[in-house]
Structure 1
Amino acid sequence: MCGICGKLNFNRQNPVGQGLIRQMMDVIQHRGPDGSGEFLSGPVGLGHRRLSIIDLDTGAQPMSNEDGTVWVVYNGEIYNFHELRTELEGRGHHFKSTTDTEVIVHLYEELGDQCVTRLRGMFAFALWDERQQRLLLARDRVGVKPLYYTNTGKSLLFGSEIKSLLVDPDIDRRVNPYAIDRFLTYYYLPGNETLFEGIFKLDPGHYLTVQDGRVSVEQYWDLHFDIPSSPPSFDEAVDGLRALLSRTVKDHMISDVPVGVLLSGGVDSTGILSYATQHADRPMHTFTMGFSGANFQDERPYAKLASQKFGTIHHEISMSANDFREFLPKYVWHMEEPVCEPPAIALYFVSQLARQSSVKVLLSGEGGDEAFGGYQTYRNLLTLEKLKSAFGPAKGGLRLGFQALGHAGFKRVGNYANLVEPTLAEYYLSRTATPYTPFNQLKPELYNSEFSALLGIQPQVMPTHKLFEQMNGQPRLNSMLYVDTKTWLPDDLLVKADKMTMAASVELRVPLLDYRVLEFAASLPLHYKVRGRELKRILKAALVETVPQQILNRKKTGFPVPYDDWMRKDMKDFVFDTILATNAGLDSYFCKEALTNLLQTHQKGKGYSKEVFSLLVLALWHQQFAGLSPSV
């Protein structure tokens, strides 16, 4: 796990300076505290920060082929690099290290840009072809590893983090106002835009090439829901999934340093632990987080149960409201974009605990819900769509029924009244949002007239609408899984997972998001995943013999950080002062009176925790990134 950065000037007579590349590397030192390296050749400069995981002695980067005509900087892990190396050696390639990095160089010599199709793992890399004077950037299929870039017209800059790009004095920090609105619509930022105009994410499953000043982006992978006409029986599919998970977790444990497991107390992380202990050659370390204070839901008893079941060396840490508040500015600095993910802060602290315990690699259960249908949202909306079909022209009565239940105190059920008329593609933005979530209802009063007028000039096409169009004709469950795999996963969960673990200089691996697992899940009949009230049916069936029943059958809770209570009590003054501060930058978008009213309403416990946290991180983002000093 590492950090990469670099610059390519389109004018070949304009060399890239060593000073700039070193500054770009220095700002992401946390991603690779074990070493650094650079490659400079006329118009191109590549930089690398190293976190040593595989081949601790000879795996330094940048790395080249035998004659120094192909150079690469790379962040990630290639889990099939042993078989690729054997194949490449059979074709006459000579290796000078035992690292997975060198496989990319020689595979490129054989296949060119299509080398990415043979790589199984998480990766973001930049490869310079000296002979062709050509740059190749690539990102893994699901987007586990981030990669940002900007085209100034004179050069292309790239990096694992936006901060590297901002080091260049030619980069303007212009805020993208449409991205502000999109963040407040989704509570994260889906798609390839960032909050900076002209700075983009390379989409998952894509590669970018630059030659003679021409920049081109191509897609090399997508998730297809192709269910065979004669699918395996449920029991056969369960056996197949068990074998696949065993192989995948084994591959994800490849490392020359200790590997641990991040336990949330849920099914997915416990399932990963069950397979990891089968393949471990030393005692496994496990890590979990709890929270200081009374009346907070605590995952630690379930994590401890899993630890005892599998005989791990278990570590726990507790986070207080003060810990949470003090880390918030650093959370925003490392995330680089406002994302409504309070659990990310807990992830940092538990990753720091792992690092202090000499564990540099953590396995996580991220992705099981998106692959196998684990969110209650899926079940509830599928039920809603069935009711809408059953009521047909009488859907107005269904809406009135939902409204009546809402007035009777069933607030969550009452919320479905707004979803009766629109189609799933019109109302499902992601598992975090619909057009009727609070921010989308509050915008008319929150936005000031100038910002509202600006947004009206260029109506936005939501990225999720485009994805639904691509899934036209597919069952509703598959459509929701596809939308979340393409947006929620890379742009919220995975960017949080990468940025927070790397802030602690720890590598996080996600076996359930191996593309073979995703493709296997996508090929299954729908009822293998969701049936009635059963969620993740096949995954739970595959784990029933190993995961304790108390964990397998418990209600899904996520990672319940008590931030709502903290923001209304311990952090009240900090929240008000930060959001309403003159240097928060929010007066460019919002009416101050409306912001104050929202904060006061939240203080009364009226359920605006996500909205207040989103405004809080947006204010902190402006203080740190929008033209001010980018440091904490």
Structure 2
Amino acid sequence: MSAADHMSDTRATTARANILGGIVYRDHLRPLEPGLAGALLPGVAVSDPPRTIDLLGGLLAGIGTSVAWDSSVDGALIADVDLTNGDEIQASTDGAARGLRRLHGQHGDDFVSRLRGAFFRRLYYTVTEDGIAFGSRVRGPLALSGSAAVDPEAVYAYLNFGTIPAPQSVYRDVRRLPPGHILVWEDGHAALHRYWDVAYSERGPGPAAAARAMYRQTEEAVRQSLSGVEPKQAGAFLSGGTDSSTVVGLMSRVTGERVQAFSIGFQEARYNELDYAELAARHFDAAHYTKIVTADEALQSLPELVAAYDEPFGNNSALAAYLCARLARETGVRVLLAGDGGDEIFGGNERYRRDCILARYHLIPAWLRHGLLEPLVRRFPAESPDLRGKARRYVERACLPNPERFYSSEFYVSQNRHRLLHPDFQAVTTADQPLEIARGHFRAAATSADLNRLLHVDLKITLGDNDLFKVVRTAEAAGVAVRFPLLDHPLVELMATLPVSYKVRGGEKRYAFKRAFRDLLPRETLAKVKHGFGLPTSDWLKAHKGFRELGRDLLLSSRARQRGYFAPGAVEELFRLHEADHTPFYGDILWTLLMLEMWHQRHGDA
């Protein structure tokens, strides 16, 4: 299949999802423009027409959403609601939107603090001379902003993070609401207000009491996530890791029913973790649905994946999440529970353990570090694979402050910008912008402990900007809803009160977690090395004819070159490095570039 054929296929792909949008003019007497609802809800094929509310000088529109007008408080609301305490909100009302509207009438902007949910969907907005427009898809506000100019700083951030961090969007004139914020439009002015953030205190109970509290709160989070869901329509992602296995195990205990669990595997042995998923499924007597994905099937599904994301998105595990959600949909499941968030609240990422090891260097007296060790290791060859090179690299990384140390092995594009990026693109981007984004979250964390600050950075970027976007959009594209019990805010708040030694201790990750769930999980699950839904995309770009041709046809095309992102010969050099490398490193970078180009041809050039 040629690249042109591949991209033309994506034009016919539509995602099934709840979508909302709205516009409020500064001039309340301004008449509504014809077809405004279509502009707010762009490019979506639906069987039902959008539900709308006409306002004085504005419009609210939605598909698959709840809308309400309440004359008693003189206001209207449109909502895409997925609350785990939704029954409480709707108990004395006639719908979620009306219930939320009344709640706002009673409590003002503080009403949002009374809601319980993951708050994981994105909301985009633009403020112009005419007023404000917002939507759950970026092209809604874009249609009313008057400009489709791509923001080079957002593209630069994407090339380093594989996603675009809030509050940026890929478009210069459209912003994204940051997590834990509300946007208030009043008297013709927009203002952002933070209503929630993680408050770290490290004054929690002792280890035994903490383990009991963790178990109880996690079990309650799973119970809340299943609220309002028919048991036969509920299921769970099961990668075989600790978090997804915990969710499946607690679902089994909470419901007393046989859990439907869904897993993806690959023909390539080093990426296939079905053995661990099957182990967990047997342990909990789950109804286990599995699928082995081939490179051909992955290539065929790629247009659907690209269509699901209206911004560039380079996380290759999105393809596995999409195929897994589609498998669940084919069995009749409508709601999937996911284990995302466990790493960031329990201390499960290998990067946290590595940083703790690097931090131990500072236990050596300063006079010995500065007077002997550092001058000594500077004499060693930096790239040497032997012990001397490792010693130098360890000391150099350990001497960096965080979050620089945390990201010292990442941001390849930023670290090589003068070699990789076109001079014109360098001129309109800020060299240390990716690191400055991380610094902002690191400094904003309400804690003095480095580990908690790093967890906070990952909550905002790795989870909020990346993993949640990945799972939500792929699930929507497959036709299922997704919930994240490990992000239930009472559980997150509990974990924030625990000392960092309960998260990583003596090089052991998830210290308290393992003690809380050792009677629930199989021993092998607790001992396994984290993998998740990894994909052999790097191998496919090298060895599979279809992927190899697609990558080269798109990334080396005149169309891609004319975008002006990369220096002449830079992409060709990445392909050469990828061919010579035995790790996925350069293949993952090429995948990020490929998803950017496919986004341009599917969305950005439209």
TM-score by length of 1: 0.86
Q: 1:180 to 1:411 in 2, by over 3 A?
A: farther
2:455 to 481, 484, 488: 481
In the other structure, the counterpart of 1:45 is 59
In the other structure, the counterpart of 1:243 is 216
2:428 to 454, 458, 468: 454
RCO higher in structure (CA 8 A, sep ≥6): 2
Deviation of the 1:346 alpha carbon = 0.9
Contact 2:314–2:596 under 8 Å retained in 1: no
Q: 1:531 to 1:410 in 2, by over 3 A?
A: farther
Q: Tell me the C-alpha RMSD between the 2 structures.
A: 2.7
- Letter of the aligned partner of 2:541 in structure 1? M
How many angstroms apart in 1 are the aligned matches of 2:268 and 2:597? 29
Q: 1:318 to 1:326 in 2, by over 3 A?
A: same
- Once the two structures are overlaid, the 10-residue window that deviates more, 571-580 or 259-268, is 571-580
Q: 1:420 to 1:309 in 2, by over 3 A?
A: closer
Once the two structures are superposed, residues 400-449 of structure 1 have per-residue CA deviations (whole angstroms, 9 ceiling, x without a partner) of 59967952289988754542332113343xxxx43764323321111122
How many angstroms apart in 1 are the aligned matches of 2:100 and 2:464? 23
Contact 1:36–1:61 under 8 Å retained in 2: no
Q: 1:27 to 1:518 in 2, by over 3 A?
A: same
How many angstroms apart in 1 are the aligned matches of 2:570 and 2:58? 49
Deviation of the 1:480 alpha carbon = 0.3
Contact 1:28–1:163 under 8 Å retained in 2: no
In the other structure, the counterpart of 1:64 is 69
How many angstroms apart in 2 are the aligned matches of 1:507 and 1:402? 54
Number of residues of Structure 1 aligned to a counterpart in Structure 2 = 580
In the other structure, the counterpart of 2:7 is none
How many angstroms apart in 2 are the aligned matches of 1:36 and 1:587? 36
- Letter of the aligned partner of 1:108 in structure 2? H
- Letter of the aligned partner of 2:274 in structure 1? R
Deviation of the 1:85 alpha carbon = 5.2
- Once the two structures are overlaid, the 10-residue window that deviates more, 39-48 or 364-373, is 39-48
Residues 1:310 and 2:306 aligned together:
no
- Letter of the aligned partner of 1:601 in structure 2? L
Deviation of the 1:460 alpha carbon = 7.8
Deviation of the 1:75 alpha carbon = 2.1
3-state SS, counterpart of residue 14 of structure 1: coil
Deviation of the 1:62 alpha carbon = 1.1
Unaligned runs of 5+ in 1: 51-59, 90-94, 123-139
How many angstroms apart in 1 are the aligned matches of 2:394 and 2:295? 34
3-state SS, counterpart of residue 308 of structure 2: helix
Contact 2:142–2:174 under 8 Å retained in 1: no
1:266 to 217, 241, 251: 241
Q: 1:473 to 1:585 in 2, by over 3 A?
A: same
3-state SS, counterpart of residue 455 of structure 1: coil
Unaligned runs of 5+ in 2: 1-16
- Letter of the aligned partner of 2:602 in structure 1? Q
1:183 to 150, 153, 158: 158
Deviation of the 1:64 alpha carbon = 3.4
In the other structure, the counterpart of 1:157 is 133
3-state SS, counterpart of residue 261 of structure 1: strand
Misfit runs of 4+, over 6 Å = 409-414, 457-461
Deviation of the 1:121 alpha carbon = 0.7
How many angstroms apart in 2 are the aligned matches of 1:423 and 1:403? 23
How many angstroms apart in 2 are the aligned matches of 1:402 and 1:499? 48
Q: What is the aligned-residue identity percentage?
A: 26
* Residues 101-500 of structure 1 aligned to structure 2 (within 5 Å): 101-122=97-118, 140=119, 144-168=120-144, 170-228=145-203, 231-257=204-230, 258-280=233-255, 282-291=257-266, 293-390=267-364, 392=366, 393=370, 394=372, 396=374, 399-400=377-378, 406-408=384-386, 416=394, 418-428=396-406, 433-434=407-408, 437-455=411-429, 462-471=436-445, 474-500=448-474
How many angstroms apart in 1 are the aligned matches of 2:61 and 2:472? 19
3-state SS, counterpart of residue 126 of structure 2: strand
2:586 to 602, 608, 613: 608
In the other structure, the counterpart of 2:80 is 75
Deviation of the 1:67 alpha carbon = 4.6
2:502 to 524, 528, 531: 528
Deviation of the 1:61 alpha carbon = 2.1
How many angstroms apart in 2 are the aligned matches of 1:550 and 1:402? 40
Once the two structures are superposed, residues 82-110 of structure 1 have per-residue CA deviations (whole angstroms, 9 ceiling, x without a partner) of 34556xx5xxxxx224xx44431221110
TM-score by length of 2: 0.89
- Letter of the aligned partner of 1:278 in structure 2? R
